[in-house]
Chains A and B, each alone.
Chain A
Amino acid sequence: MPVDIDIAKVAKLARIALDDEALARYGAELGQILEHAERVQALPTDGVEPTSHPLPLVNAFRPDEVRPSLDRDEVLAQAPDAVDGYFRVPRILDEA
């Protein structure tokens, strides 16, 4: 059963610019993946514990200890733009 996807919305949420041809292609491919998921979903899973992780492990913690941070000049040298120890990015409009 074909699955209906708003592929343009998915692309927009992921901030990926796609042309019409790419939209059609990825739409079809994603559709196949979702169809597969639907088939799996149709299986009877009563009494089966949900698997959130494939590993039989929990609680990988670190102690609350401070480790050295990176050198700021080195960090900012990777950025397209920086000033006075800050990263500088184009202005943001949608929030006060």
Chain B
Amino acid sequence: MTGWEAVIGIETHVELQTRSKMFCGCRVDVGDEPNTAVCPVCLGLPGALPVPNRAAIEGIVKIATALGCVVNERSLFYRKNYFYPDLPKNYQISQYTYPVGEHGRLVLHVDGEELAVGITRVHMEEDTGKSLHVGSGGRIQEAEHTLLDFNRSGVPLVEIVTEPDLRTPEQARAYGAELQRIVRTLGVSDARLEEGSMRFDANVSVRRSGTSELGVRTEIKNMNSLRSLQRAIAFEIGRQVEVLEAGGSVVQETRHWNEAEGRTVAMRSKEESEDYRYFQEPDLLPLEIDEAWRQRIAASLPRLPAARRAELVALGADDRTATLLVDTPVLADRFEAAVSRGAPARTVGSWLTGEIVAYARSVGADVEEVVPAVEDLVELAGMVEAAELSATAAKQVLAGVLAGEGTPRGVAEARDLLQISDEGALEEAVAAVLADHPDVVEQIRAGETKPIGFLVGRVMRATGGKADPRKVQEIIRREAGA
């Protein structure tokens, strides 16, 4: 897209995993049986009154704090009015002016560059019910009926809105990934895109490079993976540029990402422009999050991914390894423990993010279930350091440890992988090879170095590949008088 620049902002919805809903005591984790966790409040029955869940308020303050927001001392609930069958009250309790958090930022590292993404606001609201469109063709246009399940209605929902600070689909994806890590680290949500507990909408516009005026934007929805977030934005940028280059104009509208077809499609536009007629929720009191509460929550926050990553890098992990380790906290823990007990960072980092992750995937297990104990990692790394195992043999031993064959030393012995580094044994093997090849020894004495490699190969063969090749070479040079 030479000559064009994209301007991207992202709205993210995160369902909080509290035990009960935002404004009533219905349980949140309910499984698949529809309408089994509903009550007058979340069904919007007349006269029902909402009462906020304290744990949800704590959850959103954690998110706002982790994103560096100003947490407003006083915050208000509003009614957002619109008509849709999955919204039984005909309004969603949300926030408008005075959200819980404002003016935050999230720092990303994309392609070696640092990018600070402004966080406009973080506000509290409630989720809607789920609609299921049924009919002959499976397409909504052909659906004869809509089925409604209100189990999700009233689940605590946090909306996180960025400034239009992102410029590329890759940056947008990096933002989504980092936000997901933060939310998971905070333990407030499992943030699973494919299951909808974390959902992205992207606002996308394009403009000529070097200009500062914003173009007309579209909002794209329905991206249920980080990959589709990136793909959908890339498609939309291309589409808008194509429209503009053909002399057309971009229509401000909401577009739906079709994963199978790999394109965005305009949703039928509403006759009325959106008019939510926000007004303050008269059934709820203001929220007051005072200094003491804010400080208590800030002090309770776990180490966030950025801080953790910096610590791992300080221990010797490279950037890429540190990012992979942080994604799976158990790997980061193992790395830290093994390195602090003397194992080399490079080796352990590569085992953890390479062989161990690959093994878990190959057997369809969680990494947590298969990752070796710290003692095993330290022992294995120690054996490589002591030249008891070659790097290749160490990977074979690791495979044995992962398969439950025993400790590293036990596996190395059982699989006969230990290197011979005992000087005496090696000298014997070398002497036998030299005696078999007096002509080659002559060449070496005459100053040729090439035949040394040949002799090393012979010794390796004679020892079944278990000799330490560096030592063998050393001994040959000494004995042959090179």
Contact = CB atoms under 8 A, between A and B. Distances in A.
Interface of A: 9, 12-13, 15, 52-53, 55, 57-70, 72, 75-76, 83-96
A66 B145 contact: no
Contacts of B252: none
B37 A83 contact: no
Nearest to B33: A85
Interface string B115-136: 0000000000000000111010
Given A57-B285, A69-B26, A69-B27, A95 B267 contact: yes
A68 B57 CA distance: 22
B277 interface: yes
Interface residues of B, number: 58
A60 B51 CA distance: 7
Contacts of A85: 33-36, 149
A62 B83 CA distance: 28
Interface in B299-350: none
A90 B222 CA distance: 23
Interface SS majority for chain A: loop
B52 A92 contact: no
Contacts of B85: 87, 89, 92
Given A61-B53, A95-B84, 12 more contacts: A13-B272, A13-B277, A58-B287, A58-B288, A61-B52, A62-B25, A64-B18, A88-B145, A88-B146, A91-B135, A91-B143, A96-B267
Contact of B140 (A12, A72, A96): A96
B270 interface: yes
Contact of A93 (B20, B35, B76, B268): B268
Interface string B37-59: 11110010000000111111100
29 contacts: A9-B272, A13-B272, A52-B286, A58-B286, A64-B20, A64-B55, A65-B20, A66-B26, A66-B27, A67-B25, A67-B39, A70-B38, A75-B43, A83-B147, A85-B34, A85-B149, A87-B35, A87-B147, A87-B149, A87-B150, A91-B133, A91-B135, A91-B144, A91-B146, A92-B84, A92-B131, A92-B133, A94-B267, A96-B140
